[in-house]
Amino acid sequence: MDKSNKPILVFQTDFTYKEGAVCAMYGVVKSVDRELEIFDGTHEIPQYDIWSASYRLLQSVPFWPKGTIFVSVVDPGVGTSRRACVAKTANGYYIVTPDNGSLTHIKEEFGITEVRQIDETVNRLRSTRGVAVFHGRDLFGYTAARLASGIIDYEGVGPSYPVDEIIELPILQPCIEEGHVRGIFEIDDPNFGNLWSNIPLEDFNKAGFSYGDYVHATILHGNIPVFEQDILFHQSFGFAEKGAPMLYNNEMMKLAIAVTQGSFEEQYGVSFGPEWILDIVKS
């Protein structure tokens, strides 16, 4: 296979760069085929956070060339009976991952046409036989490299199993009505302390909200209010004063909350997850 036609590999994990795990994974890939291109998505996913792994795939996958192979390893069940798989998405990508919920957002948003369980009798690094705690290196990275290099085709990954058996995490839907929306914070933008909701901009607009509006925003942790203010809704941060909280349209075309040139998470002690509720009404 010509180098220009070989799929790119993109890796994301919760390993960080504090020790040699990521380096070892890349070494395995290059040992299979030195021509393969490897790029980092992120290695800073919070430890064991399968939800974040799933969301970060949604955030990045569709912006890569068709045929790109993503290796996503957030695997608290490593070495157990959970399936190791390669999923083929309806929009033209492959995802190599433990089947533990990490495919949730991709399946929901783009669809998965086929999924195959990795056959460890064929697609497992032999030199580390007996190690059960590093499937990122010994199974996922190795299988992805063999697939990208053309040593195996997709059928060579292993046996297929029903797409409806893929493990999925619950995705909560927002409530939308005229002049009132309610959702949750799905994820954060950790470097800037912004929080991203599950409320689509299109639905927010249909509910009667527009850029430039001041809206009454309440954040609840469970049933306990932790933030309540009238804040600006606009398209980017420069429309609000420095240090002021605001709502904006994020890169996922959903509502998000920020402090201009500050961290909303740190300033107000807010996080993400199904218990963090965002309620917005017209001011």
What is the DSSP secondary-structure string of 148-161? Answer: HHTSS-GGGG--EE
pLDDT of residue 283: 83
| 51-61: average pLDDT | 98
Q: Which two structure tokens, joined as six digits, stand for 50?
A: 């399968």
**50/235 Cα distance (integer angstroms):** 30
Is the pLDDT reported for residue 261 higher than 60? yes
User: What's the mean per-residue pLDDT of the chain?
Assistant: 96
Return the number of other C-beta atoms located less than 10 Å from residue 6's C-beta: 17
Task: Give pLDDT tens digits for 197-244.
Answer: 999 999 999 999 999 999 999 999 999 999 999 999 999 999 999 999
Q: How far apart are the first and last CA of the chain?
A: 60
Is the pLDDT reported for residue 2 higher than 70? no
Domains identified in the chain and CATH numbers: 3-165 (3.40.50.10790), 175-282 (2.40.30.90)
pLDDT of residue 4: 65
pLDDT of residue 5: 87
Return the number of other C-beta atoms located less than 10 Å from residue 60's C-beta: 15
Is the pLDDT reported for residue 96 higher than 90? yes
Q: Which two structure tokens, joined as six digits, stand for 43?
A: 């290695």
Classify residue 64 as exposed, middle or buried by CB count within 10 Å of its CB (0-12, 13-18, 19+): middle
pLDDT of residue 8: 98
**4/123 Cα distance (integer angstroms):** 24
Amino acid found at 67: G
Phi and psi at residue 100, in whole multiples of 5°? -135, 15
What is the C-alpha radius of gyration for the chain, rounded to an integer number of angstroms?
Answer: 21
Is the pLDDT reported for residue 1 higher than 50? no
Is the pLDDT reported for residue 23 higher than 70? yes
Task: Give pLDDT tens digits for 136-169.
Answer: 999 999 999 999 999 999 999 999 999 999 999 9
8 Å CB contact between 150 and 36: no
Query: What confidence category does residue 3 fall into, taking pLDDT thresholds of 50, 70 and 90?
Result: low
pLDDT of residue 33: 98
| 74-97: average pLDDT | 97
| 70-84: average pLDDT | 96
pTM: 0.94
**26/188 Cα distance (integer angstroms):** 28
Q: Which two structure tokens, joined as six digits, stand for 219?
A: 């954040």
Of the candidates 197, 189, 268, the one whose C-alpha atom is nearest the C-alpha of residue 233 is: 197
